[in-house]
Amino acid sequence: MTAQQNIVIRLPISDSSAFRQKLAALLVACFMCTAVAAQSDAQAPRSPTPQAIKGALHADTIAKGLEHPWGLAFLPQGGMLVTERPGRLRRVDKDGRVSEPLSGVPEVFARGQGGLLDVALSPAFAQDRLVYLSFAEPGEGGAGTAVARGRLGEAGLENTLVIWRQQPKVGGGNHWGSRIVFRADGTFFVTLGERFDYSEKAQDLSVTLGKIVRIRSDGSAPKDNPFVDRDRARPEIWSYGHRNVQAAAIHPETGQLWTVEHGARGGDELNRVQPGKNYGWPVISYGVHYSFAKIGEGTAKPGMEQPAYYWDPVIAPSGMVFYTGGAFSGWKGNILIGSLTPGLLVRLIMNDGKVMKEERYLAELRERIRDVRQAPDGSLYLLTDTRNGRILRVTPARR
Ligand SMILES: [Ca+2]
C-alpha cells in the first residue's frame, strides 16, 4: 500500500499520458504478481501444539487383552464389535466380556501396519445385519487394502465376500489407510494409503494407491463419482494425492467428508475432502521426509489443495469423530482425533469449517490411541494400540 500511495502522489508531476499508461500497466502487473505469489505461498494454519490438559477426563477400562485393536463399532442392541490387527474380530458386550474370535473373517496380511483394520455396520444393519471390514489382503504382487462384508450371525460373519480391492497389490507392510465411513445415501468412503514405497502413485488416477474411494454397498462405483467418465481413471476414486489416511468422519450436518492424514515429519493434515480434488502428496506437503530430505516441490502449488490445518510436530492420527452427544458440555460439533504419538485425544473446536482452537487430553495415560468412537450414551470409547490393548470409556472427570 505504501508503494502504491507513493506512486499515486507522484503521478501529477508527469505530463506524459504514455508514461501514465505504462505506469498503470506496470501497477496492474505488479498487483497480479503479488496475487499469484500470495496464492502459491498460501499457508495452512499450523497447530500451536498446545500442552495437554491434565485430569479433565476420566478413563475406565471396559475390556483388555486385545492384541492391537484397530476399529470399533457399536451394535444397536448393545455391545460392540472390535477388530484386532492380527486378524480377529470379536464381540464385546456392554459389561466388557470379550467373545472368542468370530468366524468368517477373511485371511489378512498381518505384517508391518497391515492386518484386520476397520469395522463398520451397514446403515441398514437392523434389517440386513451386514458388517463391513477393511483389511490388508495378501495376493499376487504382495498385498493391498480390501473391503469385505458378511452377515453377522451367532458365531460370526456368514457369506463373507470381498467386495472391493485396492489395485495393484504391491510389496511392503506400510500405509494401508482404511477407515470405512458411510454417507447418508448408503454409499461409503474407504480411505487409503499409497503403500509407502509407491508415493508417486498417489498422483496416478489409473490405480487406487493414495486415494479416497467412494463405493456402493456391493463394491461398485456410483455413477456420479468425479472420474467416472475419464479415460484411464478408476471410477471409484473420490479424491487423490493422499499419503495415508487413517481418520475420517462425515460432518453430521453438512454431510461433508473430513479426514486426518499421516504426513511425513511435520506434515499431518486435517482435510476437507472434495470430489475430484488433488491433495498434493507427494508433490506438496508440509514438513520433511523422515530422512529429513525435502519433499517434492514445497508446500503449495496451483491445482493442489491446502489442508484445513496441519501439525508440525505430528500427532500420528488414528480415528476421529464429530462429537454430537451431550456428555461433554460444549463439545458438540467438535472434531475428536486419536493420536498414536505422542498418544493423546485431540479436540478441535470448529467454526464454519475452520479450526478455532485445539486442546489435548489424556497424555497422562501414555498410550497410543488407535480409534475414537462416540458411544450411544455420549461417552467416548478409545482403543489403545499395544499387544495388550484396551477399550477405554472416557467421560468428563467429576469435579
Ligand atoms: Ca496434502
pLDDT higher than 70, residue 331:
yes
The per-residue pLDDT for 18 is 55
* pLDDT computed for residue 335 by the predictor: 98
The answer to whether residue 136 scores a pLDDT higher than 70 is: yes
pLDDT computed for residue 391 by the predictor = 98
Q: Is the pLDDT of residue 248 over 60?
A: yes
pLDDT of residue 24: 55
Which pLDDT score is estimated for 399?
Answer: 67
Average pLDDT, integer, range 21-40 = 47
Residues 179-225: pLDDT tens digits?
Answer: 999 999 999 999 999 999 999 999 999 999 999 999 999 999 999 99
Mean pLDDT, residues 322-333 taken together:
97
d(CA 234, ligand 1 centre) in Å:
20
Rounded to an integer, the average pLDDT of 139-161 is: 97
**Domain boundaries along the sequence of the chain:** 45-396
pLDDT digits (tens, 9 = 90+) for 41-69: 569 999 999 999 999 999 999 999 999 99
- Gap from CA of 305 to ligand 1 centroid (Å): 7
Residue 36, pLDDT above cutoff 60: no
Q: Quote the CA–CA distance of 283 and 274 in Å, as a whole number.
A: 18
At residue 397 the predicted structure's pLDDT band, cuts being 50, 70 and 90, is very high
Residue 363 Cα to ligand 1 middle (Å)? 27
Q: What pLDDT does 398 receive? A: 82
Instruction: Give yes or no for residue 6 having a pLDDT over 90.
Output: no
> Residues 347-387: pLDDT tens digits?
999 999 999 999 999 999 999 999 999 999 999 999 999 99
- Give distance in angstroms: CA of 142 to centre of ligand 1: 26
Fold of 45-396: Neuraminidase (2.120.10)
| Res 21: pLDDT | 60
pLDDT at residue number 9: 35
pLDDT at position 35 is 42
Q: How far is the CA of 114 from the centre of ligand 1 (A)?
A: 23
Q: Is 175 a catalytic residue?
A: yes
What is the whole-number distance in angstroms between the Cα of residue 145 and the centre of ligand 1?
21
**Which of 58, 68, 175, 242 does the annotation list as catalytic?**
175
Average pLDDT score over the chain: 92
